[in-house]
Homo-oligomer: A and B are copies of this chain.
Amino acid sequence: MTDQSLVANSGADHPAGAKSATTNEEGRGGRRGRGGAETRRAARRGGAREQLGQILRKIPCFEVMNVEALEIIEHNADTVLEEVGLEFRGDAEALQLWKDAGCDVQGERVHFPRGLCRELVTENAPQSFTQHARNPERSVQIGGDATVFAPVYGPPFVSDLDQGRRYGTIADFQNFVKLAYMAPAMHHSGGTVCEPVDVPVNKRHLDMLYAHMRYSDKAFMGSVTAPERAEDAVAMAKILFGEDFVRDNTVMISLINANSPMVWDDTMVGALKVYARNNQAVICTPFILAGAMAPCTVAGTMTQTLAESLAGMALAQLVRPGAPVVLGSFASSMSMQSGAPTFGTPEPAMVLYGMGQLARRLGVPFRSGGGLCGSKAVDAQSAYETANTLLPTLLGGVNFVLHGAGWLEGGLVSSYEKFMLDADQLTMLQAMANGVDMSENGQAMDAIREVGPGKHFLGCSHTQANFQTAFWRSSLADNNSYEQWESEGGLNAAQRANKQWKDWLAAYEAPAIDPGVDEALLAFIAEKKAAVPDAFT
């Protein structure tokens, strides 16, 4: 059913980590020529920019908490699980699983014996796993020293400088998938890159999944808006990857949000169970507006996040021991005047650093971060706030980074220009992850000896040998003189990004796919769509 040269189930396993490690050794920035097969393939594809492969960190993690503080949070999280308990609403199977595991279940409230959730996770869940892409070179390692960037997830609106702010459509959705496919440091195709509100709500997951499968060859996320849609995602993945391959490998990762505080609802738990049962990965994320859905303190938010995520990850282990899970944390601060979420603030950054430490202690991959902001415009506010989240994302050792590019207006908008600017920043973070080159060439003592006092290094042999790869280079920053910049129209960064996304989309070429697979996917979708009437709510 599948073209053996293009899809993942080509007979051999393909450990993504090892491949990516090689990639990472070879190229450290968006500009370096790779040479060989990869370049030729990229050239054939036309649209695809040179791809960097996922990050394998060579720098340490920034750790804001000491061990004593971490132990307090862990103790408190266990107290929440034991004393307060969590509610699992509308899912009798989940309640029964908890009861069988030894929990005290009162109605929908589950009280967990101290340590139970942690034990279920540490004894069963993998510390790291491979999420396979249909192009084996795009498979990614989730966990360990790896960092994987994925695009923005969830906005109902899109915006660009030409058409302004509007509801997202499936055409916009496809555009963002294409841009993510082309972006060198976007390691993942993501999930709901925007809501395609022109497609019926009960059918759009089919078109969204198809867009990821057809217009990109990177790994992607599954649908979570209903258990049956998760089943559709698994079914489509089986068409794309082959049934056997999906049974034995993880080819999807899906975002399972807690309904904080301390509630898991039936929709999310239903999707979690589908994916866990199929050995597909779930990210258990308390999505927290601190002050409303958790205490208005960093430590309190961390405690609740840990408790809620632990319960979600543990449930996945009860469904299928060994199911790949990710500890997710999304915390925004809040304007205590207006109730609006605020981004780029210090408190969420500290939650991120601390939760990263807690995830590493637990031994599971960690999801957080991204390029978050509350700004309505692609302006200085959007960039300060985004950078204040993106840099902690790298330094805090996040493994899976949702919202890596394109997020605007508190997640209500997928912005085309912001996507390009953020994607450019991701290549910067990728270069930073390589740390300091302490090789003899990196030490450059010969250069210092050759040049000596009062001379310059521009012409010395060391500079000549290294100048093409010496520094990370932005594809959107303007570093020309004021006069030159002005003579070229005095464009600001958003205006330059506007040109870039149009250039990229114009150059886009879809990755090849086996026509039989494509037909089978389209037939599946057509059948599913015909089976039920459209629904828009």
A493 within 8 A of B: yes
Chain A residues 412 to 471 lying within 8 A of chain B, measured CB to CB, are 412, 421, 425, 428-429, 431-432, 435-438, 441-445, 447-449, 451-458, 462-463, 466-468, 470-471
Give the contacts of A302-357 with B (CB-CB under 8 A).
303-304, 333-336, 338-342, 344-347, 349-350, 354
* Known contacts A69-B436, A384-B387: A463-B295 contact under CB 8 Å: yes
Cβ–Cβ < 8 Å partners of A333 in chain B? 470-472
Which B residues lie within 8 Å of A429 (CB)? Answer: 346
Given A381-B478, A391-B388, A456-B292, check contact A432 B349 (CB 8 Å): yes
**Which has the most chain B C-beta neighbours within 10 Å: A165, A374, A470?**
A470
Give the docked Cα–Cα distance between A462 and B303 (Å): 15
Query: Across the interface, do A437 and B471 meet the contact criterion of CB distance under 8 Å?
Result: no
Assuming A76-B443, A380-B380, A395-B395, what are 6 further A-B pairs, CB within 8 angstroms? A295-B444, A296-B466, A299-B436, A303-B448, A333-B470, A334-B471
Cα–Cα distance between A185 and B295 once the two chains are bound (Å)? 27
Give chain A's interface residue range (CB within 8 Å of chain B).
35 or more
Contact B477 A374 (CB under 8 A): yes
Is A179 at the interface (CB under 8 A from chain B)?
no
C-alpha spacing A481/B386, complex, angstroms: 18
> A380 near B83 (CB under 8 angstroms)?
no
| Contacting residue for A476 out of B63, B65, B381, CB 8 A | B381
Interface residues in A364-418 by Cβ distance below 8 A to B read 374-388, 391-392, 395, 409-410, 412
**CB of A79 within 8 Å of the partner chain:** yes
- Which chain B residues border A167 with CB–CB below 8 Å? none
**In the assembled complex, A262 has its CB within 8 A of some CB on chain B:** yes
CB of B391 within 8 A of CB of A479, answer no
Evaluate whether A300 and B448 lie within 8 angstroms (CB atoms) in the complex, with A295-B463, A345-B471, A454-B262 already known. Answer: yes
Complex Cα–Cα for A293 and B455 (A): 8
What is the copy number of this chain in the assembly?
2
- Say whether A471 contacts B86, CB under 8 Å: no
* Shortest Cβ gap from A339 to chain B (Å): 7
- CB A479 to nearest CB in B, in angstroms, measures 4
Nearest Cβ on chain B to A336's Cβ, whole angstroms: 4
- The answer to whether A298 has its CB under 8 Å from any CB of chain B is yes
Contact A425 B384, beta carbon cutoff 8 Å: yes
A263 at the interface (CB under 8 A from B): yes
A92 at the interface (CB under 8 A from B): no
Whether a CB of chain B sits under 8 angstroms from the CB of A474 is: yes
Chain B residues near A74 (CB-CB < 8 A): none
Residue from B64, B72, B431 within 8 A of A443 (CB atoms) = B72
Residues of B near A453 (CB, < 8 A) are 84-87, 109, 261-263
Known: A64-B436, A261-B455, A263-B454. A494 touches B335 (CB 8 A): no
Task: Give CA–CA (A455, B259) in the complex, Å.
Answer: 10
Nearest CB in chain B: distance from A46 CB, A = 25
Given the known A-B contacts A428-B388, A441-B297, are A64 and B72 also in contact in the complex, defined by CB atoms under 8 Å? no
Contact partner, A296, options B80, B425, B457, Cβ 8 Å: B457
Contacts of A383 in B (CB 8 A): 379-384, 387
Q: Judge if A473 is at the interface, Cβ distance under 8 Å.
A: yes
How far, in angstroms, from A379 to B498 measured CA to CA in the complex?
14
Complex contacts, A349 vs chain B, CB 8 Å: 432
Residue contact B452 to A262, C-beta cutoff 8 Å: yes
22 residue pairs from A and B, CB less than 8 Å apart: A62-B395, A72-B438, A76-B443, A79-B445, A80-B448, A262-B448, A291-B457, A295-B457, A297-B444, A297-B466, A300-B442, A350-B432, A376-B486, A380-B382, A380-B383, A380-B493, A381-B478, A381-B493, A382-B383, A384-B386, A387-B387, A395-B395
Q: Rank and list the top 10 A-B pairs by shortest CB-CB distance, nearest first.
A: A300-B444, A387-B387, A383-B383, A295-B444, A346-B432, A296-B470, A262-B453, A379-B492, A381-B493, A380-B383
Taking the closest CB of chain B, its distance from the CB of A114, in whole angstroms, is 15
User: Measured between alpha carbons, how far is A443 from B384 in the docked complex, in Å?
Assistant: 29
How would residues 476 to 513 of chain A score, 1 for a CB under 8 Å from any chain B CB and 0 otherwise?
11111110011000101110010000000000000000
Residue of B nearest to A454 (CB): B263
Task: Give Cα A109–Cα B388 distance, bound, in whole angstroms.
Answer: 45
Shortest CB-to-CB span from A497 to chain B, Å, is 8
What chain B residues lie within 8 Å of A295 (beta carbons)? 444, 447-448, 457, 462-463
